[in-house]
Chains A and B, each alone.
Chain A
């Protein structure tokens, strides 16, 4: 069976993929459909949804267009989710690979370091890091990456430990390949499928984290994000529920879609495991 056929066998994964494509389309179409900045006041504030043409989701406390904010926010969520996951992979994969390949004292030291970061409560650390570095896209990406790399390191380490004594690795050693070459060209390609599955789930978690940070007022002050929209509407929840409702649904659907896609990838990349389940 082809990769996609296996993926599509999981109906949830297919639904997730469709939702995800819609959200990516939202992010791409935002500047075309709503060329004006989502921060601009365009109507009177507290306009309920469906009450006026051009404002299908109403306006917020400052008279800004909620629909426009929602579309522009898609871009920020996806961007931060992808970039922070990539940075987390850049930290976690080398650490895990070195620990798992060399073993011994190097492994001990690196794993204690990883455990240390796993002990610290994730969300509290992310808050402190962004607050100290001052809120910006860069600081948010860094903070999310710093709190989310440990599981990557552990996964890659476990894979390397189980692969490092395989025959093809021994063969590469006999041929005289350097450790770096063996790590990068022989073992790493064989660990890619679990890394891809984990990464897709990490993008989802990163989006949740970003929204929670923005909700607390730690978002980049220059970009409109879903978490900010909910946070800004928190105090007027009694008068205007829709201001928090729609961005929340957007976060929920995105995170749900990414999780479904992750499960589908798991089925498609590890066919044996998922059949046993």
Chain B
């Protein structure tokens, strides 16, 4: 009896201590425990702000009505109901919102055709004067078009509820702020034409839709055609008729993309690479597994890391040529290693060295009689493959399929030499280059984009279309130009998206990094006088005439300053 009671007391005390020690604490101290890292924010969209269109007020004058109409145009895609409130019934019936979107400067001016105030029922003519900045086409391509825009004329009628717009030009008129607010420059990735083993970037400007995730907007756009600049030059892994059912975050923080359509016809690899890169490069679904479901069944999934082959640049070792025309490898510690074979020997008179894909080990150079190639082996000997006047041929450029390209200015044709075919150089159609003074031809590392310098003051960008049936250079559009008196010294492909242009003008030299998709230009700082450029992705090398002689400089990671590497005449990277 006593023993039992003592036991009971002990148990009660133990329970009280346990309760006071842990269970009764508001937040018990403890750990460590494994926690799930994922879930930081929404991986499928980014925050954005929108213009809210407000209806016209009876007290507004004509200028305010036109400004309100412009604001309603900015909000038209989200809220198509407010804009018609600004219009008379006739204008409502006649006006079409579709077509090219005109982007104008923020500080646009509204001018009146006359000074008098209109009475009720009378018309008032008003026009918008502004600097046009760009247009956004139906293909979502953002095309810079600097210069004054044609005046947009509006006719307003005074009604009992205030001014209403009676006549207005078709299409939407947005300011650059409107575009910055509602559009996102987006990189889409398609497959290169023939081999379909590398992704090609297409820059489009997509409108953010408030009712759906931006990831879905990207995927839906990816299923459509590329923009005009790449039309006919790239293909896609998605068979025609593919539709997006949903894009959502599934279990284990996977991003699940539900598609429907005849996807069983296609190989999942290319498709997944397109999806993965198109989402990740635009800040969507970063660090997450992407899973594609077709008609509710799992189809394929892409892990965090993408196979490097899809963005292969054909090698990333920098090379340079010295004063004697010998080719060296630029090592990381800043010294040079001579390449084996003929290319490593002094080659006086050889200029414009170009390296093919590193795995093929071929190098080309311009000689006094044409273009010769050799291999980077001990047995490598120069062999002339294209004959011609070196002044009439553009510096050689290698395609990632192993062919050598140049433009014969004498005959006005593009020449393509394939070392594996055993035949001589063949001609490639380039109707848009007819009659132009092509001074440089550069094929990008993706094998699709082509940059062409015409004369000494213009750079155009086109694409290699046609595929296996026969190449054609087409889809050219102006990338940059320099004013009279200036000249372009050199061009180089950075990555598939950017072209570096070295410009010399009266004010001095400048180095522009231009996005071929939307013409976005970044001026890179210069210290010394540069002569030649070579770039691979973020890495930019240049030959400069310094007070210590001709040196190779490298742009630092911060893109602000240059570091001298060694004395040499010209840097180069494989391809391009």
Are both chains from one complex?
no
Chain B positions within 8 Å of A, measured between CB atoms, are: none
Chain A residues proximal to chain B, CB less than 8 Å: none
